[in-house]
Structure 1
Amino acid sequence: MTETDATRARPALALTRADAGGETLWLVRRGNEYSRLGMSLSQLLCLSPMAARQAVEEAAEGGASPDRVLAPIDPQQEVWAAGVTYLRSRDGRIEEASDGTPYDRVYGAERPELFFKSTGVRTRGPDETIGVRVDSEWNVPEPELGIVLHSSGALFGYVPGNDASSRSIEGENLLYLPQAKVFTAACALGPEIVPAWVAETPFAIGLEIRRDGALVFEGASSTDQMARGLDELADWLFRGLDFPDGVILLTGTGIVPEADFTLRAGDEVTVDIDGIGRLTNVASRVGRQGRK
């Protein structure tokens, strides 16, 4: 996507968490103008959907300017994720696994795969690093639409996300899923949250990976290829847990690089969701090899 296309696709209304004059603030962006929301995202998501929309739309215009855009999540909030929601994801998991049968079954099952991904304080924002485990030889980014949910489970908005993963660790044994998915800098979100009432589904999703300035991988998908609905995923997540501060749920990926590709330190990864935003991070090695 060219810079002109990216500018044209920028949503008219969005929520931004930013460092502004030494303060960490939640801002409402209308066009190129920012205003203070006057509360945290956690507080906003405790309101009813109608009251939250009113709070966003009535935020006083002007009077704020972000110095640095941060990950759009409060420190105490959580990020969860859904797996195998696209056919390509199912096929990719089968390719990597010593036994792919569970992935085939969960793709068509009534109950989806849901797993914990990150806390707010561990989540990376735009232009920050995304992790590549040093004890994994096969690592990939996973571009995903994140849905921002009220404490009631109702949909508030959308955000681009990167669910960085170790395919070699997950493929070795399904019980290793937490290690394959949860590690330093394994989750990135941003740059903004776009309220659901100003966005139109479905969303085209793109992934670009550049190495030393050259494009080494490019892929595209769309949320209309999902095997499950967004409301369905949210419903299952809230069946077993309460989220008094709201929650962000990554909804799975339809873009899986081929088996001969692995992410390297220094690679620039861009997740592009049409009408929602572009999230760019640079890969960095994390963790340690440990004792042999």
Structure 2
Amino acid sequence: MKKARVAYNGTIHNAVGVEEGLQLPSGQIVEENDVIFLPPVQPKTVFALGLNYADHAKELSFNAPTEPLVFLKGPNTFVGHRSKTVRPLDATNMHYECELAVVIGRSGKHIKKEEAYDYVAGYTVANDYAVRDYLENYYRPNLKVKNRDTCTPIGPWLVDASDVGDPMNLSLRTVVNGNVTQEGNTRDMIFDIPTLIEYLSSFMTLNEHDIILTGTPEGLVDTKIGDEVTVEIEGIGRLTNWIVSE
């Protein structure tokens, strides 16, 4: 099942994706173009992975990390499908990052890898834009790089974990203005999903609606004002947004 949070007729609804469009809790079917997509869950603690694909680390001239490189993101960075992301006026390099987002379904601590998937509610797509101009030290990411308002579109769907056969073998792709600019596969992560859940839960409790952004493969391109950017992950969904001026 794929689920979404949408605004329709002045009210927020938890909708279900159906062949005809979206089904609201009342049973009413509406078309996707008639709603405003919100992030499919209201994020709590959000963990973002840096350099979790070896090819991406290489493209940035960094060595692959020997343990997860994790930073946190604030809730105001998140916007929904078909939203607008603001490019700062002084930015010279603001690129997309297509990422598989893992949504935690229940609380747990000291979770073992073998049990990790039992704590996953589902998966969605995220585009974690980075403004490289503000980067001071990649291993201590500046807040202004990764916590800017509107700079993390997420959605449109939360796909139940039970409907995703192997989350560690999904193709990823980014399309800018109709041109494919990034391709990869989740199997190329340095630290897979069970490893990340075990690592994070070893020192802090994971809670329902915590989210893990698992990193991006190589193929990053600077985005310009007016660009249409679509990031998509096999079996999870296609997430589109537009770059606008500050």
Category of TM-score, reference length = shorter chain: 0.7 to 0.9
Alignment of 1:228 with 2:228, yes or no, is no
1:21 to 6, 9, 34: 9
Q: CA deviation at 1:184?
A: 1.8
What CA distance in whole angstroms lies between the structure 2 residues aligned with 1:240 and 1:268? 39
Alignment of 1:197 with 2:162, yes or no, is yes
Given that 1:20 and 1:64 are in contact with CA atoms closer than 8 Å, whether structure 2 keeps it comes out as: no
Could you list the runs of 5+ residues in structure 1 that have no partner in the other structure?
Answer: 1-12, 37-60, 95-99, 287-292
| Letter in structure 2 aligned against 1:159 | T
Alpha-carbon spacing, 1:92–1:131, altered in 2? closer, same or farther (3 Å): farther
Alpha-carbon spacing, 1:144–1:209, altered in 2? closer, same or farther (3 Å): same
1:73 to 18, 34, 41: 41
Give the secondary structure class of the aligned counterpart of 2:74. strand
Aligned pairs for 1:4-83 within 5 A: 13-32=1-20, 34-36=23-25, 62-63=27-28, 65=30, 67-68=34-35, 69-74=37-42, 77-83=44-50
Q: Calculate the TM-score normalised by the size of structure 1.
A: 0.71
* Count of aligned pairs: 229
Given that 2:106 and 2:120 are in contact with CA atoms closer than 8 Å, whether structure 1 keeps it comes out as: no
Alignment of 1:112 with 2:80, yes or no, is no
Report the counterpart of residue 187 of structure 1 in structure 2: 152
What CA distance in whole angstroms lies between the structure 2 residues aligned with 1:249 and 1:79? 6
Higher Cα Rg, which structure: 1
Report the counterpart of residue 137 of structure 2 in structure 1: 173
Report the counterpart of residue 145 of structure 1 in structure 2: 100
Q: CA deviation at 1:242?
A: 3.3
Q: CA deviation at 1:195?
A: 0.5
| Letter in structure 2 aligned against 1:141 | Y
What CA distance in whole angstroms lies between the structure 1 residues aligned with 2:212 and 2:90? 27
What CA distance in whole angstroms lies between the structure 2 residues aligned with 1:160 and 1:218? 17
Alpha-carbon spacing, 1:131–1:236, altered in 2? closer, same or farther (3 Å): farther
Q: CA deviation at 1:249?
A: 1.2
Q: Calculate the TM-score normalised by the size of structure 2.
A: 0.83
1:264 to 220, 224, 241: 224
Could you list the runs of 5+ residues in structure 2 that have no partner in the other structure?
Answer: 109-118
Which digits, 9 at most, give the CA deviation of each residue in 1:107-147, with x for residues without a partner?
A: 341x301111231x541111101232333311100011101
Q: CA deviation at 1:243?
A: 4.6
Given that 1:118 and 1:187 are in contact with CA atoms closer than 8 Å, whether structure 2 keeps it comes out as: no
More helix per residue: 1
Given that 1:144 and 1:252 are in contact with CA atoms closer than 8 Å, whether structure 2 keeps it comes out as: yes
Report the counterpart of residue 218 of structure 1 in structure 2: 181
Alpha-carbon spacing, 1:285–1:173, altered in 2? closer, same or farther (3 Å): farther
Q: CA deviation at 1:35?
A: 4.6
Tell me which of the two structures has the higher relative contact order, counting C-alpha pairs closer than 8 angstroms and 6 or more residues apart: 2
Give the secondary structure class of the aligned counterpart of 1:208. strand
More strand per residue: 2
| Root mean square deviation, CA, Å | 2.2
Report sequence identity in percent: 25
Q: CA deviation at 1:64?
A: 5.5
